[in-house]
A and B are shown apart, each in its own frame.
Chain A
Amino acid sequence: MTNGTDASAAGAEGKMSFRQVARETIRFVLSELKPKGKMLTPFNVVTGIIILSGLVMIAVRFAYGLGAVSNLSQNYPWGIWIGFDVVTGVAFAGGAYVLCFVVHILKVKKFEPILRVTVLNGFLAYVFYAGALLLDLGRPWNVINPIIGNAFGLSSVLFLVAWHFMLYMICEFLEFSPVVAQWLNWPRARRILEALTTGAVIFGITLSTLHQSGLGALFLLAPTKIHPLWYSGNIPVMFFVSSVFAGLSMVMIESFFTQKAFRDRIGHDLHAAHDGILLGLGKGAVGALFAYIFLKLIDFVHYKQWVYLDTPMGYWYLFEIVGFVFLPTALFLKAIRKRSAKLVQFTAFLTAAGVILNRLNVSVIGFKWYEPVRYYPSVMEIWITLAIISMELWVFRWVILRMPVFGEAHEVVEEKTAEDMEVVTWKASVL
């Protein structure tokens, strides 16, 4: 960052009246709302159809009740909208607080190039997946009750989780907001927002610790309903520890796709450092995995879990632990020793699958495993989930293509007008 351009930009802003700035901003945002690139790509068509039909199903859900679209029942009040969208989705969003800790608190510069995109991903995950909670609530308009204070359920873990979701979304938005200010060409706002970042990060890490574990603590109230191989007094701690490797593996998976999809948006720095970053993330993940294995081992001994191993649920448990905890740990170690970024990335997929499996085992598959008639998600439940994921991807892409998420992006200079060029040079100089 050179002081000269910054000062002149600030000076230019100073000359414009507030109304002018507002008008400019609105004009700019409106122009940015237009889609960029080809419309009829296979991705757009497929996700577009999923989203549109998903919206119809959501309309049906609100017109006729939850029973019209879901397989939820009196015996199974929570299905995949909670077990996958919320409980798993939030675990995957854990990468944001982990990386914020590493970059902002520990000041490890190495991971800075992927910080913005991770925070963006975390923020959108909360907005969409925690937002999916509103679909699952029978009376979503009452969701403000525990917030506005006419009914504080202080003894409820869900009360804590709800508050933390809300506060954490604000924190993550604050963490990301300098990028938005940069995009809108508001240098002064950007400086103010950047000053708030450390505070937001510290508060965000605290909130994340509590609500990641809080999501696990929700299930403490169902000791007789969750299979003894998954029920444990340590669920909160295990949910927290696994959110570390869940989040990190999601960062690696996300980078796998963004490297392909947004090649021209990614700066030289990130390209060059990419393998090293992946290996670093793998090291972080393997540390958390070891802690997790240790917790599982304590449970295994303390709850004498071996008595359940030779049952169908026991085999399922072994499948999860061996295939998706032990194996990824071994593969991460191998990848780190051989310095293979490819293997790290592959293992990240395996780890993420294991996290999905674990969250579903606690919240859906191992929940009331003894009932003769079991819950399985309806097609529409899955479809709506896919629609939510698609929507998130659309918003994610929209932001990536417009805001300086990946650091010094290659701008497509030829198509720009002279006026836009100024913005580009300014943006580049700021970075």
Chain B
Amino acid sequence: MTISRRNFLKAAGAAGGVLLTGGAPAVRAAQVPQTSAGGIEFNGMLIDTTKCIGCRACEEACNEANHLPKPKGSFSSEAVFEETRDTSTGAFTVVNRFPNAKNPDQPIFVRKQCMHCNQPACASACLCRAMEKTKEAAVIYHKDRCMGCRYCMVACPFDIPKFEYGSPTPFVWKCIFCNERQKRGEQPACSEACPTGATLFGKKRDLLEIARTRIYTEPDKYVHKIYGEHEVGGTGWLFLMGAPEEKLGLKTNLPTTPYPELTSGFLYGVPLVFVLWPSLLIGLNYLIKDSKVSEKKEVSHDERD
């Protein structure tokens, strides 16, 4: 899967059955916007996997801040690292442990939670705007609007939204970047709780500079890539990696295309079909009606139904 192929997809999607020339967006420049439509600087989070010690303080803080059910084991237990965990309706962030090829005594810990994409697939998928990207960066969830169709789960490239299958009145749960805390001027609970600075909150533009500086100053320590800078059009959360992404449980095959663009071509075609189809059909209908009438007249002049 390459970029050029994706751009073809957009063009072909625009066809939508008819419009072979439907506006294919130009190849996206490498520059990813760091501000929202309103001109507000996006907030972001920088995760430095080399700094994370796997203390799970972020998990505990997240659990408290979001009033989630307490897990069975204690948050200080390391037994959970035996297997790779996924986020769930009761845990919006989880820390996983991965072996370190460079230094086997120092495993790498990687957090998993919503990436808060600049242009989120879930929000573009949602037909009732239950998933919404705020101007500040958070992708939040409006419980009252959701109809539980789970299209956000199908669309999310990181498989983050989680659905309550065991409930007759289910919701979809995921990290909401502590949106309420951000509005109050506080930082999210997890970054506040992080003792090592492995989770760092700030303006995304600043975080990118910090991340680059770290890579330049310690080129042997990091993979020379900021995960999330370009993936799916850029994400609010950025990862500095101590090992290649495929070794850290991060999705590897993601396009750099923002996901809403995958369907925008098709959606642009909709109004055109709505204008063209009826006019063509009405025209065709009249044309054939007329030709049938003249056929009849030719056959017999006075024979009328």
Using CB atoms and an 8 Å cutoff, list the residues of chain A in contact with chain B.
Answer: 62-68, 70, 72-75, 77-78, 101, 104-107, 136-140, 142-143, 145-146, 150-153, 155-160, 162, 198, 202-203, 205-206, 209-210, 213-214, 217-225, 228, 232-234, 236-237, 240, 302-303
Contact = CB atoms under 8 A, between A and B. Distances in A.
B154 A222 contact: yes
A213 B263 contact: no
B274 A233 contact: no
Interface stretch (B56-64, B186-194, B265-273): B265-273
B248 interface: no
Contacts of B90: none
Contacts of A73: 165
Given A74-B88, A157-B266, A236-B16, A221 B154 contact: yes
B154 A225 contact: yes
A221 B145 CA distance: 21
A163 to B, nearest CB: 9
Contacts of A210: 16, 270, 273-274
Given A233-B11, A303-B5, A104 B285 contact: yes
A356 to B, nearest CB: 20
B130 interface: yes
Residue among B1, B5, B149, B270 having the largest count of chain A Cβ atoms under 10 Å: B149
A145 B86 contact: no
B23 interface: no
A139 B6 contact: no
B281 A145 contact: no
A233 B9 contact: yes
Given A138-B164, A142-B128, A220 B146 contact: no
Contacts of B251: 224
Interface of B: 1, 5-6, 8-13, 15-17, 86, 88, 121, 123-130, 142, 145-151, 153-155, 157, 159, 162-172, 251, 253-255, 259-260, 262-264, 266-267, 270, 273-274, 277-278, 281-282, 284-285, 288-289, 292
Given A138-B164, A151-B130, A206-B277, A218 B15 contact: no
Point out which of A104, A143, A220 has the most chain B C-beta atoms below 10 A from its C-beta. A220
B292 A220 contact: no
B71 to A, nearest CB: 17
A151 B154 contact: no
Contact of B129 (A137, A138, A152): A152
A156 B147 contact: no
A155 B254 CA distance: 21
A242 B259 CA distance: 26
Given A158-B151, A209-B17, A220 B263 contact: yes
A213 B16 contact: yes
A73 B259 CA distance: 23
A66 B170 contact: yes
Given A160-B270, A209-B17, A302-B8, A221 B124 contact: yes
A187 B137 CA distance: 61
A136 B148 CA distance: 8
A247 B130 CA distance: 34
A224 B285 contact: no
Given A140-B147, A142-B145, A224-B254, A65 B170 contact: yes
B3 to A, nearest CB: 12
A148 B28 CA distance: 36
Contacts of A66: 163, 165, 170
Nearest to A1: B305
Contact of A217 (B1, B88, B123, B266): B266
A142 to B, nearest CB: 4
A220 B262 contact: yes
B281 A158 contact: no
Contacts of A101: 281
B147 A106 contact: no
A223 B259 CA distance: 9
A231 to B, nearest CB: 9
Contacts of B171: 138-139
Given A137-B149, A139-B148, A213-B17, A203 B263 contact: no
Given A74-B153, A153-B127, A155-B124, A205 B277 contact: yes
Nearest to B264: A155
B266 A220 contact: yes
A233 B12 contact: yes
Nearest to B14: A233
Nearest to A145: B128
A102 B123 CA distance: 40
Nearest to B130: A151
Max count, chain B CB within 10 A of own CB: residue among A143, A145, A234: A145
Contact of B146 (A70, A77, A139, A225): A139
B193 to A, nearest CB: 26
Contacts of A214: 266
B283 to A, nearest CB: 10
B16 A105 contact: no
A151 B281 contact: no
Contacts of B17: 209, 213, 236-237, 240
Given A77-B153, A107-B292, A220-B9, 9 more contacts: A66-B170, A137-B147, A139-B146, A206-B274, A206-B281, A210-B274, A223-B9, A233-B12, A236-B13
Contacts of A303: 5
Contact of A206 (B124, B162, B170, B278): B278
Contacts of A222: 154-155
Given A77-B154, A105-B284, A224 B127 contact: no
A262 B61 CA distance: 68
B147 A142 contact: yes
B129 to A, nearest CB: 4
A285 B9 CA distance: 27
A146 B127 contact: yes
B146 A142 contact: yes
A364 B163 CA distance: 18
A157 B267 contact: yes
Nearest to A141: B147
**A146, A158, A205, A225: which has the most chain B beta carbons within 10 Å?**
A158
B277 to A, nearest CB: 4
Given A74-B86, A77-B163, A105 B288 contact: yes
B277 A209 contact: yes
Given A73-B165, A158-B127, A223-B255, A233 B10 contact: yes
Contact of B127 (A62, A162, A236): A162
A75 B153 CA distance: 8
A159 B127 contact: yes
A217 B289 CA distance: 35
A74 B161 CA distance: 8
Contacts of B264: 155
